[in-house]
Chains A and B, each alone.
Chain A
Amino acid sequence: MDERSRNGLGAKLIREKDASAIGGDTRGADGEGAGGPGARTGANGGGAEAGPGASAGLDEGVGIGGRDTRAGVEPDGDDSSSSHLILEAIGVSKTLGSKQVLKDIHLAIRQGECFGIIGPNGSGKSTLVKLLSGADGSYDGKITYRQQALTIYTRKQLARQIAVLQQEALPPIGFSVQEVVEMGRYPYQNWLGEEKEDSEAIIDGILTELDLKPFAERSIDALSGGERQRVALAKTAAQQPELLMLDEPTTYLDIGYQQQMMDYIRLWQRREGLTVLAVLHDLNLAALYCDRIMVLQDGRVIETGTPEQVIRADLLEHVYGIRPVIVRHPENGVPQILLRGGSIG
């Protein structure tokens, strides 16, 4: 137990009484994982490997260990209460037509963490995000935001708390960058378009931060896909949310833009305690930026845990049908995947 307690977040998971909040099938997440197979993942997650790795490699020191220093989030203490839970899904299932696309999903996202969801195509990731963001209201089970059912919030209230960044967030329409980012303030405006805060200063700050000032008056249909996605991120920033949901936001971006986007989100997280839910295809990206990852397959949760716990050859083979090589990132020790690139059969 001491080993695990050293590692803030990982240990918290394992210690939590309501194991159901993490995932029904997770190994090592519930109390009885102490002795058996869970010990391997639990100990690894809480032990030496993750510790120095988490704090040493990443520049800002953010990571599983680094979270303890972020403002507004207590690393330990009375986390048996769910006061730090931002988003919770309990027994969520959804059927589309005759197919059950989500089966008994449980998850609990804590304030300030970056929670990743990975899984093969058709595993239900996008559907789950639609439910969690309140875009789709028909499902079985419960989804709560800050302990209150999602359905209680009005659309604008929800928009002030949760922002969603999609794959292709902005169609090439005729609005300028400034105008699009201003749209992010809609949840705060009354019907006359006025709001209490000084939105101009907020928007200005965001544009400067994201290096969009030179483009401010340009129409977004004249921008490249990567630049448009940056504008989309700026728009979500203007919403000043507490929870940012990313639905494969980096799919159409080149490596440079991918890193830029994830780095900015991490910066935002560190500075303001933003909570992030990210659906990602890229497992390496997920391992690098997420504190915990949930693996979905066929609408079911296979496992939820830290990248160390989840990025394992046997799990990935089971879920994706590949046999990757798992290496440790030379700078921060986070598990990364290398494909073998062999022929079939």
Chain B
Amino acid sequence: MKKRLFIWGGAGILLLLLSIIVSLSMGSAHIPIGEVWSIIWRQFSMSITQLWQDIWSFLVQTVTGDPVVREAIMPVPPTPYEQIVMQVRFPRVVLAILVGAALSIAGAGFQGVLRNPLADPYTLGVASGASLGAAFMISSGLQYVLFGNWTVPLAAFVTGLISLVIVIRLASINGKFRTETMILAGVVVQAFFGAIVSLIISLSDTVMNGIIFWTMGSLQLRGWPYILVLAPYLLLGGIVLFSLTRSLNLFALGERQASHLGVHVERTKMIVLVTGTLLSAAAVSVAGTIGFVGLVTPHLMRLLVGSDYRLLLPLSAIYGGIYVLWADTIARTLLSPIELPLGVVTAFIGAPFFAWLLVRHKRKGAAQDG
């Protein structure tokens, strides 16, 4: 297993790095790949040198007690290329990868715990829930109130969590909850909140485009601060889910079987569902609702490496990141200078691929029955 993880993981990381470099060079201002590479290298070595100097002067200071005097380094003004790469494209590229990773591992977790191949991170209604907060803020013109640019993401996150709480309350009986009931509760919440969002859209025709565009997903004008918002969730959520991979494997045997082997079924289900929804709510709040990533990436990984979650989870993160990165690159370059909504591109890529999966599965099923 470890060997396969290294092979596929290694290949994934290489592909990721390659995609980053290529994507950074693409855009309305085409920057040659060589230039991109040297910009990144320059930035990287500058930050490392800076870090090293900081550590060194700190150590010297603590040992000798004397403040270290460093000669002032003349800051070199960034070239236009550098600015484009570092301020505009790089944060966007990194954010795309993080969003893809978050949605993919959330989707993989949901599929494992609900034992339903159609489960995706939005199964419990978090997409509509988050959209509701965003729609409300945008339509009421309060989108910059209190937190400036953060108002919409914050509202989206809060309403996303509220929808999760409602689903859990709806589905639990005496603290236990059956999987089918949870899925149905998610459908109910998704439909209801979705209806409210549509209502808001229809009533406020002046900002209709703003809301719709938000719900279709976009990484436009998302700078470095957005990464700071999403990164901790991805880190924490990732750690939690990675620690449960063996339990997730056991879930495939059935809940009762897993329980007989020592898994805390209800507890694990709850943890995975809540963590997955937090990851999705965070992703949706910074990028809007991007579909198919959470659904398709785990399936693609299953085709490649099988159902073992110890492989599936990390690989879904890597390849999910690559998926959204490419989708975003296409979104901003295909009809340049017009930007396609990210959710549209992921669906355009994802849906035909899913159809192909279905045909393949059908054929395999027919062969088995025959």
Contacts and interface: CB of A to CB of B under 8 A. Distances in A.
Interface string B213-255: 0000000000000000000000000000001001001101110
Interface string A154-166: 0110111011101
Interface stretch (B67-75, B260-268, B321-329): B260-268
Contact of A186 (B250, B252, B256): B250
A183 B243 contact: no
B260 A135 contact: yes
Contacts of A179: 308
A166 B254 CA distance: 11
A135 B256 CA distance: 7
B74 to A, nearest CB: 50
Interface in B298-355: 302, 306-308
A133 B258 CA distance: 13
Contacts of B259: 135, 155
Contacts of B253: 170-171, 173, 180, 183
B263 A155 contact: yes
Given A179-B308, A191-B243, A171 B261 contact: no
B250 A173 contact: no
B257 interface: yes
Interface residues of B, number: 19
Contact of A189 (B246, B257, B302): B246
A8 B212 CA distance: 80
A180 B254 CA distance: 13
A162 B259 CA distance: 11
A189 B249 CA distance: 14
A85 interface: no
A135 to B, nearest CB: 6
Given A171-B252, A191-B243, A133 B306 contact: no
A179 to B, nearest CB: 7
A194 B148 CA distance: 49
B265 to A, nearest CB: 9
Nearest to B255: A135
B250 A183 contact: yes
A187 interface: yes
* Centre residue among A158, A160, A162, A173 by max chain B CB count within 10 A: A173
B302 A174 contact: yes
Nearest to B264: A155
A206 B45 CA distance: 56
A163 B302 CA distance: 29
Interface string B264-303: 1000000000000000000000000000000000000010
A187 B252 contact: no
A231 to B, nearest CB: 11
A159 to B, nearest CB: 3
A171 B307 CA distance: 13
Interface string A166-200: 10011101110001100110110101010000000
A170 B256 CA distance: 11
A233 to B, nearest CB: 13
A171 B254 contact: yes
Contacts of B263: 155, 186
A131 to B, nearest CB: 13
A173 B259 CA distance: 18
A7 interface: no
A158 B264 CA distance: 12
A174 B306 contact: yes
A158 B261 CA distance: 8
Interface in A121-143: 133, 135
Given A175-B308, A186-B250, A155 B243 contact: no
Interface of A: 133, 135, 155-156, 158-160, 162-164, 166, 169-171, 173-175, 179-180, 183-184, 186-187, 189, 191, 193, 239
9 contacts: A133-B260, A166-B257, A171-B254, A173-B307, A175-B306, A183-B253, A186-B250, A186-B261, A239-B261
Given A155-B262, A156-B262, A184-B261, 13 more contacts: A135-B260, A158-B262, A159-B261, A160-B262, A164-B257, A166-B256, A171-B252, A174-B302, A183-B250, A186-B250, A186-B261, A187-B262, A239-B261
Interface of B: 243, 246, 249-250, 252-254, 256-257, 259-264, 302, 306-308
